[in-house]
Structure 1
Amino acid sequence: MTEVTLYRAPTTVADAEEIADWLRERVAGVEDDDGETIAVEVRDRFLDVHRDEALPEQFAETRVSSPYERETGNTMLGIVRYEERALDHPERAGGVLYDGLGVQRALNAAIPERKRTLDHLHVALLDRPVGTWGDHDGRWHKRVNVLGQPALVSVPGLYEAPAKPEAYYQAKQKTALLSGDAPPREVLESEVEGEFLVAEDPRTTEALKGYVLQAVHCWRTGEGFCDDERCRLSNPHRQPGVIEAQLRDPEFCETHAELYE
């Protein structure tokens, strides 16, 4: 049987059940090599279901210490203890960026070997920001998802990774010049006009559906992101592009509509 397991992120507004229902409809006509349809199940938080004693130290090893330094990790006792608490009480964690590929390797190792097969994709909704290193510009970039096994879909990444409208950064710079300090994010979000997603946004679940499908599509076909910016399988780098791709019709470009509509 070909199977997708989607894991909840209970400290976020993301509704895993709704995403799974939508995903089932999208892949209802898709068959695996044995002629069977893809089964989609929902489980509790990945870091609870597949808890591994090594995870706290592994998360500590993937912490990004500087936006411009490739090397990651701080395994001092206090940091490892913090990661242990973050696993037990995720609502208290925050403010840390993690190497997405490093986290992916750690979570892959935590999946039982019998569940770590080519015909079983694990998709973890995460309440942590993850990033990847950009060799082209020598800095870390936050990501909404990291494709692979397991696929990571970062809920805070949805708000933080794609750049906001230019007016947002102009207002931030102007206020900093006048007051000597940048205003709180919440103030800017309420004052700046433009379309972008904010923390706890009620549109979060709807927007994440496309990012979860991207993971499934890559797993099934080996293809990366779609070049059509209007398609849910595209990977826009700016918030207005996310709105266009994930929250407006049509859902898919002509090619991918044949597969998923």
Structure 2
Amino acid sequence: MESVTLYRAPTAAVDADAIAAWLDERVDAAVAVRDRFLSLHGDSDLAESFAEARVLSPHDRETGNTMLGIVRYEERALDSPERAGGVIYDGLAVQRALHERLPADERSLDHLHVPLLDRVVGTWGDHDGRWHKRVTVLGQPAIVSVPGLYEAPAKPEAYYKEQQKHALLSGDAPPREVLETEVEGDFLVADDPRTTDALTGYVLQAYHYLDTGEAFCEDEGCRLHNPHRQPGVVDAQLRGTDFCPRHADRYGR
């Protein structure tokens, strides 16, 4: 691979320049940072592409609502990204839409594009018939969802037990902020100051996949590991050694 380009997420607590500097020390490719992908490469049809990628129900494989009001919402979200939220998008559909908008001379697999998105993306699970939120959708471009870092991996069991206890006592689930304050454990929350450090490993996963064809590492202490629970994310991305012995030979510095 010759080049990696990261794209900033303007409303998210992530420093694309810091990720690029970390990556530049570990890969044999030129690493650059550009402004928000959706602003640089957006067009008049992009809002409708996002509307078509909307997940309508957790257990409904079909996606998309292109009613005028929904498309108008997506237009506003593109113009003012701080107004977006509360929607899950089909990550593969979003990836296809963004790939179509890459500059024609930058679409080769020698030049990886990594938009840091402030949107929640998911993929459909044929094994259980429901959508699953994701931190990344690997490929070209490789999507890294910043809110996905907080929402996709499951919280510690104590979080859900506390949620159930509140629901039994009050008849309603407590605000997320209450649970995050009351529950002890290792998990990341929205605008967590550890966001940039955690996402460096996910960006490297995107590079590693396109460069080698290997998706993830099975070693739970390696930054190329893809945990399904928040404590595992903390262990893999924020604690201990950066890499397992095999990947330390390739990326250790």
TM-score, structure 1 length as denominator?
Answer: 0.96
Q: Determine the C-alpha separation between the residues in 2 that align with 1:148 and 1:103.
A: 12
Shift of 1:52: 1.9
1:55 aligns with 2:46: yes
Q: Who is 1:234 aligned against?
A: 225
1:21 aligned onto 2:21 = yes
Q: For residue 45 of structure 1, what is the aligned residue in structure 2?
A: 36
- The one-letter code sitting in structure 2 at the alignment partner of 1:7 is Y
Summarize the alignment of residues 161-240 of structure 1 with structure 2, pairs less than 5 Å apart.
Answer: 161-240=152-231
In 2, the alpha carbon distance for the partners of 1:217 and 1:104 equals 18
Q: 2:87 is matched with which residue?
A: 96
Does the 8 A contact of 2:139 with 2:206 survive in 1?
yes
Q: SS of the residue aligned with 2:144?
A: strand
Counterpart position of 2:126: 135
Q: Corresponding residue for 1:147? A: 138
Q: Distance in 2 between matches of 1:149 and 1:56?
A: 20
Distance in 1, matches of 2:211 and 2:248, equals 16
Q: Distance in 2 between matches of 1:53 and 1:92?
A: 19
Q: What letter is aligned with 2:132?
A: H
Q: Which amino acid aligns with 1:256?
A: H
Shift of residue 118 of structure 1?
A: 2.0
Q: Is the 8 A contact 2:8 2:36 kept in 1?
A: yes
The one-letter code of the counterpart of 1:26 is R
Amino acid at match of 1:176: A
Cα distance in 2, alignment partners of residues 260 and 10 from structure 1: 29
| Residue ranges of structure 1 left out of the alignment (5+ in a row) | 31-37
Q: Deviations over 1:32-68 (max 9, x none)?
A: xxxxxx1000000000111122110000000001000
Give TM-score scaled by structure 2 length.
0.99
Q: Structure 1 residue 120 and structure 2 residue 111: aligned?
A: yes
Structure 2 CA distance for aligned equivalents of residues 53 and 147 of structure 1: 26
Deviations 1:114-159 (A, max 9, x none): 1111211100000000000000000000000000010000000000
AA of the residue aligned to 1:21? A
Check the 8 A contact 2:109/2:140 in 1, yes or no: no
Identity %: 74
4+ runs of 1 displaced by more than 6 Å?
none
Structure 2: give runs of 5+ residues left out of the alignment: none
Spell out, residue by residue over 1:192-222, the C-alpha distance to the aligned partner (whole angstroms, 9 max, x if none): 0111000000000000000000000001001
CA displacement at 1:26 relative to structure 2: 1.1
Q: CA RMSD of the aligned region, Å?
A: 0.7
- Helix, strand or coil at the partner of 1:26: coil
Deviation, 1:235, is 0.3
